[in-house]
Amino acid sequence: MTVRLQSEPFEPGVLLTRFSAGRGETGAVVSFTGLTRAEHGQTTTLELEAYPGFTDAEIGRIGEAAATRWGLQDWLVVHRVGPIAPGEAVVFVATASAHRREAFEACDHLMDYLKSRAPFWKKEHGPDGARWIEPTDRDRTDAERWET
Amino acid sequence: MARVMLFGRLADIAGWRETEIDASSLSGLRDTLTATDAALGEALAGPGVQAAVDKVIVRADVALTAGSEVAFLPPMSGG
C-alpha cells in the first residue's frame, strides 16, 4: 500500500521482484510498466511536475479505494517526476491478490486513473520547443462526470 | 502571509512558482494576483483551473490565515 514519487530512474524488474517476495497467501501479482515514448523524435524529454503531499495523497486515496473494491492484499505505485528521457520507465504499478482477476482489474483501473486524472502536469520538450500537455475538452467533461 | 504556489503552465505565465502574499481570503488573493499580473489573472480564471488550500481542492471562497498554503492547479494531465 505504497505511493512513491521520485526523480531518480527505477528498474521495473527490481521493483517487481521486491514486491513479489515473501507472499505465502498471494496467488497473483500483476504489474504494469509505462515507458516514455520518443514520438518519432518529437519528444526529446518529458517533464512531469507533481505537487508533493497532494499528488501522492490523491493517488493513495485511489489506491486504497481500489484495494477495497478488489480486495487487494497489496499495491504499489512508483511514479517518476522531473525530466524523463524517451525509453525510460515513467510509472510502475503492481497489485497483489489471492486470485488473478482482481489483480488484473485493479492494475488496469489504477493505470486508467494515473494516465487520465492523477495530479501531474506534463511538459513535452522537442525540436520545436516545449509545450504543456493538457487534457482535451472531451477528457475534461468525461472526468467531470465522476465529480459529485 | 499565505504561501502561494503555481503549477504547470501557470508558473510559466507568471515567471514564478512560489511566493508569499498577504491575503485574508482566496478571492482577495485572486484579486491581488490579477491586479499585479493581468495575464496570470486571466489564466487563473480559465477553464479547469482549480485552487487547493492546504492541499484540499476548494470550489467556494475560503478565508486564509498566515500559514495557509494556496496552490493553483491547471487541468491535470495524468502521468
Q: Mean pLDDT in chain A? A: 91
- Can you tell me the distance from the alpha carbon of A3 to that of B26, in angstroms, rounded to the nearest whole number? 30
> Which residues in B lie closer than 8 A to residue A7 (C-beta atoms)?
none
Whole-number pLDDT of residue B79: 80
Inter-chain CB proximity B78 and A90 less than 8 Å: no
Q: Does B71 touch chain A (CB under 8 A)?
A: yes
Residue B58 in grid coordinates = 476548494
d(CA A38, CA A46): 9
- Its domain, for residue A64, covers 2-144
Q: How confident is the model at residue A35 (pLDDT cuts 50, 70, 90)?
A: very high
Q: Scanning every residue of chain B, which has its alpha carbon at the shortest distance from the alpha carbon of A81?
A: B79
Q: Do A91 and B8 touch (CB under 8 A)?
A: no
Q: What residues of chain B, 6 to 35, have a C-beta less than 8 Å from chain A?
A: 7-9, 12
**Is the CB of residue A15 less than 8 Å from the CB of residue A94?**
yes
Distance separating the N- and C-terminal Cα atoms of chain A:
26
A146 falls in which pLDDT band (50, 70, 90)? very low
Q: Is B56 a residue whose pLDDT tops 60? A: yes
The domain spans of chain B are 2-73
Interatomic CA distance for residues A36 and B66, integer angstroms: 41
**Residue B5 · residue B74 · CB < 8 Å:** no
Cα torsion A141, B79, A55, A126: sign: negative
B8 to A34: CB separation less than 8 angstroms, yes or no: no
Report pLDDT digits (tens) over A73-131. Answer: 999 999 999 999 999 999 999 999 999 999 999 999 999 899 888 999 999 999 999 99
What 8-state DSSP symbol labels residue B32? H
Instruction: Tell me the chain B residues in contact with residue A63 when contact means C-beta distances shorter than 8 Å.
Output: none
CA distance B15 to chain A (A): 15
Query: What pTM does this model have?
Result: 0.90
The verdict on A3 touching B (C-beta cutoff 8 Å) is: no
As a whole-number percent, the residues of chain B with pLDDT over 90 amount to 89
A34 touches A67 (CB < 8 A): no
pLDDT greater than 90 at residue A141: no
Helix axes A100-116, A55-70, angle to 10 degrees: 150
Shortest alpha-carbon distance between residue B28 and chain A (Å):
23
pLDDT at A144 over 90: no
User: What are B17-32's pLDDT values in tens digits?
Assistant: 999 999 999 999 999 9
What is the structure's pLDDT at A39?
86
Of A51, A115, A122, the CB nearest to B71: A51
Nearest Cα neighbor of A36 from A82, A76, A105 is A82
pLDDT for position A148: 40
Contact at CB, B71 and A135, closer than 8 angstroms: no
Phi, psi (degrees; rounded to nearest 5) at A33:
-120, 125
The confidence band for A47, taking pLDDT boundaries of 50, 70 and 90, is very high
Distance in angstroms (rounded) separating the CA atoms of residues A43 and A36? 9
Average pLDDT over residues A40-59: 94
Judging by beta carbons within 10 Å of its beta carbon (0-12, 13-18, 19+), is residue B25 exposed, middle or buried?
middle
> Which CATH number belongs to the domain containing residue A14 in this structure?
3.90.1170.40
**Is the model's pLDDT at A140 over the cut of 70?**
no
Q: How many CB atoms lie within 10 A of CB A76?
A: 21
Which residue from A27, A17, A102 is spatially nearest to A67, judged by alpha carbons? Answer: A102
Q: Mapping DSSP to helix (H, G, I), strand (E, B) and coil, where does residue A37 land?
A: coil
Q: Average pLDDT in the B46-59 region?
A: 95
Fold assignment, B2-73: Ubiquitin-like (UB roll) (3.10.20)
